[in-house]
A and B are shown apart, each in its own frame.
Chain A
Amino acid sequence: MGRNAAGREIPENIPGFEKVAYFEGAYAHTPLIRREKGSRTLPRLNKLVDSIEVAIEKTGLKDGMTISFHHHFREGDVLVNRILDIIAGLGIKNLTLASSSLTTVHAPLIEHIKKGVIRKIVTSGLRGELADAISHGLMDIPVLIHSHGGRARAVESGQLEIDVAFLGVPSCDLYGNANGFNGKSACGSLGYAIVDARNARKVVMVTDHLTEYPNTPFSIDQDHVDHIVVVDSVGDPGRISVGATRMTQDPRELLIARMAADSIAASGYFEDGFSFQTGSGGAALAVTKFLREKMIDRNIKASFVLGGITSQIVKLHEEGLVKRILDVQSFDLDAIRSIGANRHHTEIDASYYANPLNKGCVVNKLNVVVLSAMEVDIGFNVNVITGSDGVIRGASGGHSDTAIGSGLSVIVAPLVRGRTSTIVDSVTTVITPGESVDVLVTDHGIAVNPRRPGVAESLKAARLPIYTIEELKAKAEHLTGTPEPIRFGRKIVGLVEYRDGTIVDVIREVE
């Protein structure tokens, strides 16, 4: 029998409870509770720290740990470079950088890799000078390329353990409630950041817009947040839609988009209540424009649109043609506005989007997806990561996730880029296996995977220009000639992880 801090007598052993823990005082085991009562504002019950340096020190970041970032600002990202500079200044080395993706703005990381600050990179994509340097053998350890769903799986299952997540958020209160649609740097959905916030050991929020408490509705909850730093800018949302997410005016891309919309309309999947997603890339995004006309003509409404969301999708939603939007990433300023304003434009996280091993990701409910490709081979395998010279310049993204999850996956690409055929005997790198790819639409004609004879028949009946993929390849080579093989070295510079965690391909050094 003993007495606890409340002065009560309590036996040490009670049948059915192995060992009774004595109450030791209201403050004893909950360090985050305020110690002084009385004043509303003092002491400041908040998680604010003065600088990124202080935040890093408080997280206990050490050599060899894993740090993470999200890529919602795409080409407008500023945090990755800034925080790596600070970490380098603190003398921390041998880190694993697990950013949900990396873009052309991340060229300064090359120096941090050379100096040993970064030892390993895990990412969905790589572009620009950084990608080029890595392809030419910059790193000792190969980069691990994952899909968006595969990353969520790895983080949630503990395969990828994040020690510290640095999450740039457009608005945050002083206790950590954050969303992406308020503030001068609004970027829309925080779908990739949410997964990291939930699973990282330490979470640092970086914001340029500190709001009154509570910052509702919030995407990242205060109960996951350790520290908050206020900076002058977390990113440039104007540069989100630079490159792969812009709306095209190119007649060739519009032609491909129109043929893809024609294919979808004829495929049997185009019926009231269908759902669709368009991936990044000019032609893929433009498909929405042509689907809209068909939806109006045939009085069809979509139950939901998934994915990277653009102004085109928002327009359809606001016209009543699309009932719901599920948004893991906002691709332009209209989408950013809409996610804050429209009741049925819902933010989703990367696991909900595409984690193949949770209890149900939404790609499984997708009827149609339209995706870009750098290369497609005669087995319908798709490469979206390495260019025709073998150099890394793309991203895995949700490509393999949506291709396998959807009922109909449509790949759009020009038949010839520059003078290189898109269709090859064997892709340089497999990102999406051919068994999950259904239709290839090019500016010179359409090929249907022989695994889908029913789809081929439907498209033929609609008088669409159907060829075998070998015929399309021959058309391309008639124009271009046959290329010499790429000269790869022996060194492996990248591993491509399939969404389930297995390795689907390796990327070799380019000589």
Chain B
Amino acid sequence: MKIERTGMAGSLESSDVLVTIDPNVGRGVEVVLKSIAESRFGKQIRLLIEETLSELEVVEARVQVEDRSALDCTIKARLVTAIHRAAKMSHPDWEHLS
């Protein structure tokens, strides 16, 4: 998917995560993670972000993730929503979503 504009999803409430996706033309994928669970779950969260980006074929994006101890399924949902918003895709392709 092509990132065309800034897309945000989620919140800074406890157990949630705020994801912001920006275009990153010519600079590939850049991930900035801020998490209060960084020391114990940082690797796991980064891996999840990478997998989700490649699943949705996002090759150029700046991804900012501000995590408030969200579960993986929440992070994934917010990330997928933010990507769809940033790519101006109003109807997800449900058949190809994991």
Contact = CB atoms under 8 A, between A and B. Distances in A.
Interface of A: 388-389, 417-420, 479-481, 483-484, 486-487
B71 A484 contact: no
Given A418-B36, A420-B37, 15 more contacts: A389-B39, A389-B40, A417-B69, A418-B14, A419-B41, A419-B71, A480-B41, A480-B71, A481-B41, A481-B72, A483-B41, A484-B39, A484-B41, A484-B44, A487-B39
25 contacts: A388-B40, A389-B39, A389-B40, A418-B15, A418-B36, A418-B37, A418-B68, A419-B15, A419-B37, A419-B41, A419-B69, A419-B71, A420-B37, A420-B40, A420-B69, A480-B71, A481-B72, A483-B40, A484-B39, A484-B40, A484-B41, A484-B42, A486-B39, A486-B40, A487-B39
A419 B72 CA distance: 9
B69 A418 contact: yes
Contacts of B71: 419, 479-480
B27 interface: no
Contacts of A484: 39-44
Nearest to A421: B40
B70 interface: yes
Nearest to B68: A418
The interface residues of chain A, by DSSP majority, are classed as loop
Contacts of B36: 418
Nearest to A511: B39
Contacts of B43: 484
A466 B36 CA distance: 32
Contacts of B39: 389, 484, 486-487
Interface residues of B, number: 15
Contacts of A483: 40-41
Interface string B31-66: 000001101111110000000000000000000000
Contacts of A420: 37, 40, 69
Nearest to A390: B39
Contacts of A417: 69
A481 B14 contact: no
Nearest to A420: B40
A418 B42 CA distance: 14
In the A-B complex, the 6 residue pairs with the smallest Cβ-Cβ separation, listed nearest first, are A418-B69, A483-B40, A419-B69, A481-B44, A419-B37, A389-B39
Interface string B1-24: 000000000000011000000000
A132 B41 CA distance: 20
Contacts of B40: 388-389, 420, 483-484, 486
A480 B40 CA distance: 11
Contacts of B44: 481, 484
A418 B14 CA distance: 7
A329 to B, nearest CB: 29
A389 B40 CA distance: 7
Nearest to A391: B39
A358 B76 CA distance: 58
A391 B70 CA distance: 21
A481 B47 CA distance: 12
Contacts of A418: 14-15, 36-37, 68-69
A276 B11 CA distance: 42
A480 B39 CA distance: 14
A311 B23 CA distance: 56
A480 B70 CA distance: 9
Counting chain B CB atoms within 10 Å of each CB, the highest count among A389, A419, A479, A483 belongs to A419
Contacts of A480: 41, 71
A418 B68 CA distance: 7
A150 to B, nearest CB: 31
Nearest to B44: A481
A510 B72 CA distance: 26
A417 to B, nearest CB: 8
Counting chain A CB atoms within 10 Å of each CB, the highest count among B36, B39, B44, B71 belongs to B39
Nearest to A510: B39
B97 to A, nearest CB: 21
Contacts of A481: 41, 44, 72
Counting chain A CB atoms within 10 Å of each CB, the highest count among B36, B41, B72 belongs to B41
B41 to A, nearest CB: 6
A419 B70 contact: yes
A484 B44 CA distance: 9
Contacts of B14: 418
A474 to B, nearest CB: 16
A487 B40 CA distance: 9
Nearest to A389: B39
A422 to B, nearest CB: 13
Contacts of A487: 39
Contacts of A419: 15, 37, 41, 69-71
